[in-house]
Amino acid sequence: MAYTLFIGNKNYSSWSLRPWLVLRQGGIPFREELVSLQDDPGKAARLGKLPAGRVPVLADGEVMVWDSLAISEYLAERHPGLWPADPVARAWARCISAEMHSGFQALRQEMSMDVRARRPQRRRSEAVLRDVARVERIWSDTRSRFGARGDLLFGTFTIADAFYAPVAFRFRTYGVRPSGVAGEYLAALLSLPGMQEWETGGATDERLMDHDLDLLYPGD
């Protein structure tokens, strides 16, 4: 039986993108089910079916797994190759994924994900500038240390790439243009087939347009 992944609107839901991309780029069969967070009379019933009342949620038969990092770890236990094979690289990948999962609050607040939009920022807060610099440093250091065998953070696709996928969309939306190795990685990440498929889905899905803003997806 294939997995079912409950997700939010593809244009806005950064949290949903991460496990969705792990599944798609990992070649793992799954079915996606869109959950509206629109504030209407049916909202409580919809969210009541989810363990924490939020997306994403992975259903594996009777097992329900929520939180994007927990879902990714659950999949990694069942599908080898989603983390780097080398223990040192794997530890690094887990660290940078966890850092993105729990940090970068200024970037999240001031650069909410909106895949369709293009609105370069003329001014950025000092907090956002620090977050952007840290992301660029992570990308450059990881590629330099572990990425010799391909274009992604660890050469080939891993969960770590999925955790920085929403940042790639944010950087493009708000006109952040890293140079050097970080810039090359940004281009490679945006070029992934899964990223292009997600973008197409967000551009053509009018059902929840302008309702499920990123702020409605609490950090998980």
Q: Is 116 found in the same domain as 189?
A: yes
Q: Is 192 found in the same domain as 91?
A: yes
Q: Is 41 found in the same domain as 95?
A: no
Which CATH number characterizes residue 33's domain? 3.40.30.10
Which residues does residue 7 pair with via DSSP β-bridges, in sequence order? 34
What pLDDT is recorded for position 215? 37
What pLDDT is recorded for position 207? 55
Does residue 186 fall inside a structural domain? yes
**Structure tokens belonging to residue 212:** 């499920």
SS3 (DSSP) at 175 = coil
Q: Is 69 found in the same domain as 115?
A: no
What pLDDT is recorded for position 218? 39
Q: Give pTM, 2 decimals.
A: 0.91
Domain that holds residue 115: 87-197
Which CATH number characterizes residue 137's domain? 1.20.1050.10
Find, among 149, 182, 147, the residue nearest to 164 by Cα.
182
- Tens-level pLDDT at each residue, the chain (220 residues): 689 999 999 999 999 999 999 999 999 999 999 987 777 777 777 876 788 778 999 999 999 999 999 999 999 999 999 999 999 999 999 999 999 999 999 999 999 999 999 999 889 999 999 999 999 999 999 999 999 999 999 999 999 999 999 999 999 999 999 999 999 999 999 999 999 999 999 887 655 444 334 334 434 4
